[in-house]
């Protein structure tokens, strides 16, 4: 089974990683995990004119590598085969697109567990991904 696990380095995302580790462990055929980190670069496009595109790209890559570090460590310790994908753009769209393009069986996301009112007012990445993804989505609280 191929799992795509989105992570932003938060405790909620790490719970999703832990769930994926447990799921892979319970499957007789095993599986692999691909971690994905996406940062929205919209706000930084203006900065590119002053510091250059490469500086912005390097900054976002560094943020993603920090976001992925704890998840990669947990997967290594559990002996679960994994790789990682780093993207920039609209977070929910990029996660859903990566899941479809990569032929993943399941997309695993941590849910922040905000109130229904907050989600209604500001939305959430998990909610948007679950609405647009063509790959099944598992939300972990």
Low-confidence ranges of the chain (pLDDT < 50): 114-122
Q: Is the pTM of this model over 0.85?
A: yes
In a 13 Å sphere around the CA of 20, the CA atoms on its Cβ side amount to 36
pLDDT, position 117: 45
88-99 pLDDT, tens digit per residue, is 999 999 999 999
Residue among 69, 26, 66 nearest 1 (CA): 26
pLDDT, position 120: 45
Q: 47: Cβ–Cβ under 8 A, 6 or more apart, which residues?
A: 56
pLDDT, position 123: 57
């Amino acid at each position: 089974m191929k799992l795509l696990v989105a992570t932003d380095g938060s405790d909620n995302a790490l719970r999703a990683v832990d769930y994926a580790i447990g799921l892979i462990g319970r499957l007789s055929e095993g599986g692999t995990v691909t971690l994905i980190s996406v940062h929205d670069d919209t706000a930084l496009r203006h900065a590119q004119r002053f510091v250059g595109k490469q500086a912005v790209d390097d900054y976002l890559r560094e943020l993603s590598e920090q976001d992925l570090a704890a998840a990669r460590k947990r997967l290594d310790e559990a002996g679960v085969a994994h790789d990682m994908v780093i993207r920039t753009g609209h977070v929910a769209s990029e996660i859903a697109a990566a899941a479809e393009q990569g032929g993943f069986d399941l997309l695993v996301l941590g849910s922040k567990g905000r109130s229904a009112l907050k989600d209604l007012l500001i939305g959430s990445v998990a909610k948007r991904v679950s609405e647009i993804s063509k790959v099944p989505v598992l939300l972990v609280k």
